[in-house]
Amino acid sequence: MVKSFKTFLKHTAKDFHNQSVNPPVVRASTIIFKSMKHIRKTQKKAQKNPVGGHYDYGRQGTSTTYILQKILTKLEDSYHVFTTPTGFGSVFLAIFSVVRPGDEIIAADPVYSPTRVLTKDFLKEFNIKTIFYNPHDLKTLERSITKKTKLIFVENPGSNTFDFQDLGKIVSIAKRYKILTAIDNTWGTPYYLKPIKLGFDMSIVSATKYYSGHSDVMGGSLAVNKKVFQKVKAAEKITGLRLGPDDAYLITRGLRTLDVRLDRHRENAKKIAAFLSKNKKIKLLYPFKKKFLKF
């Protein structure tokens, strides 16, 4: 990204054709073409450049969803970003893309509760085993690795307890054993952390939260590197996990102020933490405090 993160958010995706700040909402189930030759040409373009926004059916996307994907791909410093109807849809897509019956998953203990239910209970019925590691003792992660281990699933900070982990070490362990990695980066967003750049194969963000910022839209994003792109693309196609254009528009609009809102969140959190730290009856889980566990 040539421009700074903040500058990019303010200037990207302007619609100079219609002279509007945000691109229009384009809804379509049927994609129309002038001729069969035009269809075949578009399909060939899609084969040659699968991330280029060349569609022949509405479930694949429209210009509205494509614009959001391009923005998020830039922000994530990734090969591509898939968008889903919910944040948890991105969690499911990441796991479903790479794990098969007989495989094992190693997941961080403080993952999002629905992620825990999915991996521990639901996938068990498909002969997929999940082992949870202690985020403060990565030896428990390495000891859990077997020949069947296919995926290490991280959430950082921890969903409710804000446990911080040594992400570089986790990536190093995964690469040593040739295991794929995914991280739920909803709390951090690429504004604070770019997992693909750090070495993760997949990075999940619930767009329902900070991306949209106004509690009126559901959505998720799954950033990937080139290594897992084809697997995720195939899984996305077969499951139909695609974000609609109306939600894509609202998320694109919300992204304009992502940096402003997150900066204010950080400052407000500091003030609240300072106030609560004076109460001896309250245990403060706050990562900026020097006494915070494993920070």
Residue 64 belongs to a domain with what CATH number? Answer: 3.40.640.10
What is the pLDDT at residue 295?
47
Position 287, amino acid: P
Return the biggest CA–CA distance within the chain.
Answer: 73
End-to-end distance of the chain based on CA atoms, in angstroms? Answer: 29
Cα 247 to Cα 283: distance, rounded to the nearest angstrom: 38
What is the pLDDT at residue 293?
57
Q: What is the pLDDT of residues 129-163, one digit of tens each?
A: 999 999 989 999 999 999 999 999 999 988 878 88
| For range 197-208, the mean pLDDT | 97
| For range 176-180, the mean pLDDT | 97
What is the pLDDT at residue 294?
56
In Å, what is the CA distance from 139 to each residue of 29, 152, 189, 214, 281?
50, 14, 27, 40, 33
Q: At residue 291, does pLDDT exceed 70? A: no
What is the pLDDT at residue 277?
86
Q: What is the pLDDT of residues 35-93, one digit of tens each?
A: 999 989 988 888 888 888 888 887 888 889 999 999 999 999 999 999 999 999 999 99
Cα 219 to Cα 78: distance, rounded to the nearest angstrom: 19
Q: Do 111 and 120 form a contact (C-beta atoms < 8 A)?
A: no
> H or E element: which one contains 173?
helix 167-176
Q: At residue 223, does pLDDT exceed 90? A: yes
Q: In this structure, is residue 93 part of a structural domain?
A: yes
Q: In this structure, is residue 291 part of a structural domain?
A: no
What is the pLDDT at residue 196?
98
Sign of CA dihedral 75, 80, 86, 91: negative
Q: In this structure, is residue 9 part of a structural domain?
A: no
Q: In this structure, is residue 95 part of a structural domain?
A: yes
In Å, what is the CA distance from 196 to each residue of 37, 44, 173, 251, 293?
38, 29, 16, 21, 26
| For range 237-265, the mean pLDDT | 94
What is the pLDDT at residue 134?
94
What is the pLDDT at residue 10?
84
Q: At residue 184, does pLDDT exceed 90? A: yes
Cα 242 to Cα 236: distance, rounded to the nearest angstrom: 7
The DSSP output letter for 288 is T
Q: In this structure, is residue 79 part of a structural domain?
A: yes
Q: In this structure, is residue 249 part of a structural domain?
A: yes
Indicate the number of domains in the chain: 1
How much is the mean pLDDT over the chain?
Answer: 91
Q: Give the other-Cβ count within 10 Å of 140's Cβ.
A: 15
The SS3 call for residue 186 is: coil
Q: In this structure, is residue 150 part of a structural domain?
A: yes
Q: In this structure, is residue 269 part of a structural domain?
A: no
Q: What is the pLDDT of residues 99-131, one digit of tens each?
A: 999 999 999 999 999 999 999 999 999 999 999
Q: At residue 209, does pLDDT exceed 80? A: yes
- Higher per-residue pLDDT: 112 or 18: 112
Cα 48 to Cα 35: distance, rounded to the nearest angstrom: 20
Q: Do 134 and 109 form a contact (C-beta atoms < 8 A)?
A: yes
60-98 in b/e burial notation, b at 16+ Cβ within 10 A?
Answer: bbbbbbbbbbbbbbbbbbbebbbbbbbbbbbbbbbbbbb
Residue-number span of the structural domain to which 39 is assigned: 17-255
